[in-house]
């Protein structure tokens, strides 16, 4: 065995000891996806994620991120299915993406990568080391695909015949000479289940996702008010979206026969969060939010963003039981929440919703909120007179619609 191969094997073993489920070694050669990344950006399919467009050169040439970088030790951490974990109940958690129910993987994987890096430095003091999880200018799926941690599926997620796609990625860039692992070949074949199941047609063609239509983008990444089309699209997803993974045959069951993510307590939904439902999100104050979500990926859109999503989901569900909470939010919430609460009340309808809207209009001073309330009242009035066409949606009503922002 060559020294490069011996060191690579040693480091992969240490990665497993550091708490990762799988590891592989990739050479830091220039990206082969640079052209299609640039086309994706030119088409504006990154939606509001301008930060992706700013660092394209580095994404194309990841070796430039660390002086003398030659290889990447790529790691994967499984997050589902959790052994012995029942699906959560209630009206909130089943519609929060699985990766986000427990602790924030950026922290968990970041700490483990740091510890792994320190161990490598101790053994190879001359080595340069740089950890990344998610937020660096790296095409992480491409890098991990190069060393066989999976292969990109038509839903753009990295997947593996033994492990499915419910895993997260991270990597250590290294200046060490290491023997690289081999990629694996395509496992999608003729399947198109993810493309067929995506309720918003965000997967515009195999391996191409338009974030302007992706529920995950709107509920996690988009800041501020949601345009009307996006409110339709998100259906009843409060944070993220798992549909294109749920339908993937490689996620049906662990093919390897080994338990997946059986010993990852950090992924479990903590009791202080489990008790929350949609209306509970409205009742949280800043302190309560920080207490419950400071170690969760759900802090990303902030309390206002989560409440915005919750209001839209209530409207899309069209259930009258949400009217009292929405009516209160319409008076006491932030301008963003008041706007989305008004929209949701217009969706749900009924005398109580209409009375709340009329009442709120009397005291509302923000012009955008007044407009939202007025149009919600108009929707209800036209519904009453039998002219209206709007009503509760499950998100799939967005299918086939043109998105105009
Ligand atoms: C931006 C981003 C998003 C955006 C855009 C998603 C996207 N598909 O790019 C949004 C907010 C929508 C998103 C959603 C999700 N994300 Co995300 N996201 C990222 C992030 C930060 C950057 C991805 C990126 O660079 N996209 C740019 C586009 C252009 O890349 P691409 O889709 O890979 O497109 C290339 C290929 O399709 C390729 N290509 C073109 N033609 C062909 C043909 C073939 C045959 C092949 C193989 C490839 C290929 O060329 C394209 C251009 O480079 C990465 C972390 C990272 N730094 O990599 C996490 C990451 C990809 N996300 C992750 C996760 C878990 C998710 C969600 C599942 C979360 C959720 N449940 O809501 C969803 C899944 C949505 C989906 N179907 O992809 C994980 C994926 C893990 C895995 N197993 O693959 C990552 C790696 C984070 C991590 N560190 O673990 N995400
Ligand atoms: S995450 Fe949801 S909306 Fe986005 S591509 Fe997958 S199924 Fe479609
Ligand atoms: S659902 Fe089918 S096409 Fe989509 S990623 Fe899975 S195997 Fe590939």
pLDDT recorded at residue 79: 87
pLDDT, tens digit, 9 for 90 and up, residues 23-37: 999 999 999 999 999
pLDDT recorded at residue 255: 65
Helices (H), 318-405: 323-332, 335-348, 351-363, 367-384
Query: Which regions of the chain are under pLDDT 50?
Result: 388-405
- Buried b / exposed e along 129-162 (16+ C-beta atoms within 10 A): bbbbbeebbbbbbbbbbbbbbbbbbbbbbbbbee
pLDDT recorded at residue 264: 78
| Structure tokens that stand for 5 in this block | 């191969």
Beta bridge partners of 123: none
C-alpha of residue 210 to centroid of ligand 1, in Å: 11
Separation between Cα atoms, residue 242 and residue 311, nearest integer Å:
20
Of 175, 187, 168, 182, the residue nearest 26 (C-alpha): 182
pLDDT recorded at residue 84: 66
C-alpha of residue 42 to centroid of ligand 1, in Å: 17
Cβ atoms of 241 and 309 within 8 Å: the answer is no
Of 314, 369, 367, the residue nearest 344 (C-alpha): 314
Kindly list the catalytic residues.
134
Pocket test for ligand 1, best of 54, 77, 98, 140 (most atoms within 8 A of CB): 140
> For the chain, which residues make up each domain, given as ranges?
3-91+98-174
Instruction: Determine if ligand 3 sits within 6 Å of the CB of residue 166.
Output: no
- Buried b / exposed e along 221-258 (16+ C-beta atoms within 10 A): bbeebbeebbbbbbbbbbbbbbbbbebbbbbeebeeee
pLDDT, tens digit, 9 for 90 and up, residues 102-113: 999 999 999 999
Separation between Cα atoms, residue 123 and residue 232, nearest integer Å:
54
The residue whose CA has the least distance to atom 1 of ligand 3 is: 248
Full-model pTM: 0.94
Q: What is the mean pLDDT of the chain?
A: 92
Nearest ligand 2 atom to alpha carbon 237: 2
Separation between Cα atoms, residue 30 and residue 38, nearest integer Å:
14
SS3 at position 115:
helix
Separation between Cα atoms, residue 164 and residue 79, nearest integer Å:
11
C-alpha of residue 158 to centroid of ligand 2, in Å: 14
| Structure tokens that stand for 174 in this block | 């290294």
∠ at Cα 173 (187, 150), nearest 5°?
Answer: 10
Residue whose token pair is 């040693």:
10
């Amino acid at each position: 065995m060559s020294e490069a191969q011996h060191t690579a094997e040693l480091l992969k073993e240490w990665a497993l000891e550091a708490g990762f489920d799988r590891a592989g070694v990739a050479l830091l050669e220039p990206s082969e996806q640079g052209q299609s990344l640039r086309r994706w950006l030119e088409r504006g399919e990154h939606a509001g994620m301008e930060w992706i467009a700013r660092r394209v050169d580095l994404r194309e040439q990841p070796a430039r991120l660390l002086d003398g970088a030659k290889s990447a030790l790529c790691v994967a951490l499984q997050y589902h299915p959790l052994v012995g974990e029942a699906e959560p109940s209630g009206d909130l958690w089943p519609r929060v993406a699985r990766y986000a129910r427990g602790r924030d993987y950026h922290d968990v994987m970041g700490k483990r990568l740091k510890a792994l890096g320190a161990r490598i430095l101790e053994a190879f003091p001359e080595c340069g080391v740089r950890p990344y999880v998610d937020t660096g200018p790296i095409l992480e799926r491409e890098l991990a695909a190069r060393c066989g941690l999976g292969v990109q599926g038509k839903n753009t997620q990295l997947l593996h015949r033994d492990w499915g796609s419910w895993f997260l990625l991270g990597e250590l860039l290294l200046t060490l000479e290491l023997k690289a692992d081999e990629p694996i070949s395509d496992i999608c074949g003729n399947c198109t289940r993810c493309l067929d199941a995506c309720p918003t047609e965000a997967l515009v063609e195999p391996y191409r996702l338009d974030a302007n239509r992706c529920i995950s983008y709107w509920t996690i990444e988009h800041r501020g008010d949601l345009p009307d089309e996006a409110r339709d699209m998100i259906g009843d997803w409060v944070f993220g979206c798992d549909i294109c993974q749920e339908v993937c045959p490689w996620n049906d069951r662990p093919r390897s026969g080994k338990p997946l993510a059986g010993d990852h307590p950090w992924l479990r939904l903590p009791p202080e969060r489990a008790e929350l439902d949609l209306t509970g999100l409205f009742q949280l104050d800043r302190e309560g939010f920080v207490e419950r979500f400071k170690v969760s990926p759900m802090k990303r859109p902030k309390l206002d963003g989560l409440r915005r999503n919750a209001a839209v989901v209530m409207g899309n569900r069209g259930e009258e039981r949400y009217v009292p909470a929405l009516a209160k939010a319409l008076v006491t919430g932030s301008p963003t929440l008041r706007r989305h609460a008004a929209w949701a009340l217009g969706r749900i309808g009924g005398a109580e919703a209409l009375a709340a809207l009329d009442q709120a209009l009397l005291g509302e001073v923000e012009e955008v909120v007044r407009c939202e309330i007025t149009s919600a009242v108009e929707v209800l009035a036209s519904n009453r007179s039998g002219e209206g066409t709007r009503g509760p949606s499950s998100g799939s009503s967005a299918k086939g619609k043109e998105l105009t922002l």
